[in-house]
Every structure is written in C-alpha cells, then in structure tokens.
Amino acid sequence: MQRLALSLAVLMLAGAAFAQTPSTNEQAPSPMYPAPPPLKAPEVDKGAPLGNLSSPLAADQARPTQTKIDSDAEAQLFVYATRITWGRYAKLKGAKPGAAVVTKQGPLWTIKGRLDSAAPGSEGDWASIDGVVERIEAGKVQLRGEVAFRVAKVMNGAPCKVSGLLHFRRSGKSQVWRLVEGDNPCDGTQELFDLVYDKPAEKKPVPAQPKRG
C-alpha cells in the first residue's frame, strides 16, 4: 500500500509539472496585447513607375489650329467685336468701354482686349480677355482662353479668372455677344462681360478741288 501511494503521488506531481510547461505549439505569454508583432512584415506590390506620365486633360487643352466657321454672316459681324463693356461698372458715371482686337492668323482667329475702369471709385479695376476662337455659329462664338476681372474689394484685388472653353452668345439683331460663363468665381457677381460690334466709320474720299487759274 505504501508503494502504491508513493507511485500515485509521483504521477500527480509529474502531471502538475506537465500542465505548467508550455507545449511547443503554444506561444509563451507576451506583454504585448493582443498579439506580438509578426516576425516578417507582409510584402507590398511595387507601384507603377512615375516616368512618361501624361495629364488626362492634355488632349482637351490642346491649342486649336483652325477656327471652324459655320456662319459666314456671324463671322463678318464678329470680326468687328472690338469694344468691351463691363456690367459691374457700366451704370456708373464716367464709365468707358474697353478695346478688343480680333486677329486672323491664317485659318485661326484670336481675340485680345482689356477694359480699365475709369468710373470714380473703381480706378485700378480692370477686365481682360485673351483667347483663340474655336468656332463661330449663328449667334454663338466659342473660344478657348481666359477672361479675368480685377476688383479691389474682391480677394484683396487679386485677378479672378474664368478660363477654358468659353461661350459668347448674341440674340436676334443684337450686336452684343455676352459671356455665358460671366459669373465672377470669387464672389459670384454676374459681371455681364460683353463684346460689342463696333465697325469703324468709312472714310469718304475728299473730292479733288479744281485748280485755280
């Protein structure tokens, strides 16, 4: 009986020791919670090379090489769109129009102009246009370029621009083309930027005076 009791005691001690010893499949307790960091970081695919990239807008921003004219009558009018009016100051006493120049460079038409405000209280403010004419239709002129507005009380006098594909429209027998995208992007004001037909007066030849005898 004593041998049997001793054997049982030895087996119980061995079992307790085995239960306290971590197996090879178990990981020893770690102070890191919930789990220790992996021995190897996961692999990440390399990105595409950054060379030879092109902008998705490149094709859309290509400079036109020819003005498409769908209406000869409209083109004959627009070539004399040489006056600029600016609605923001048009009703102020002393307001004066600006000047624009429509130029034919081979098959491509361009336009460039500026209005420097002269109305009291608006000195130093200006509006300008610079672009190439892409298409001329009946009552419509489409150009690619920019129209800028400089107003002292808006954005501390920084020029606010609308640019890209711009549209001017004329209705009926009007001789005024108004910029469709004419809202100032800085304060939302409708600038009412207009190009106005202003054909120069024809100079009549002076009749020759008869010579006195």
Q: Residue with structure tokens 């672009």? A: 131
Short-list 160, 157, 104, CA closest to 128? 160
Q: Residue with structure tokens 């500026």? A: 114
Short-list 177, 183, 174, CA closest to 143? 177
Task: Using the predicted structure, report yes or no on whether residue 2 has a pLDDT greater than 80.
Answer: no
Q: What DSSP line would sit under 14-55, residue for residue?
A: HHHHHHHSPPTTSPPP-SSSS-PPPSSPPP-PPPPP-TT---
The sign of the torsion formed by the CA atoms of 76, 78, 81, 87 equals: positive
Q: Would you place residue 6 in the very low, low, confident or very high pLDDT band (cuts 50, 70, 90)?
A: low
Query: Would you state the pLDDT for residue 202?
Result: 72
Query: Would you state the pLDDT for residue 55?
Result: 44
Tokens found for residue 198: 């202003």
Task: Using the predicted structure, report yes or no on whether residue 35 has a pLDDT greater than 90.
Answer: no
| 117-132 pLDDT per residue, tens | 999 999 999 999 999 9
Residues 6+ away with beta carbon under 8 Å from 88:
149, 151, 189, 191, 192
| 134-148 pLDDT per residue, tens | 999 999 999 999 999
Q: Is pTM, for the whole model, over 0.75?
A: no
| 50-67 pLDDT per residue, tens | 455 444 444 455 678 899
Residues 6+ away with beta carbon under 8 Å from 194:
84, 85, 86, 87, 176, 177, 178, 179
Q: Residue with structure tokens 């711009």? A: 166
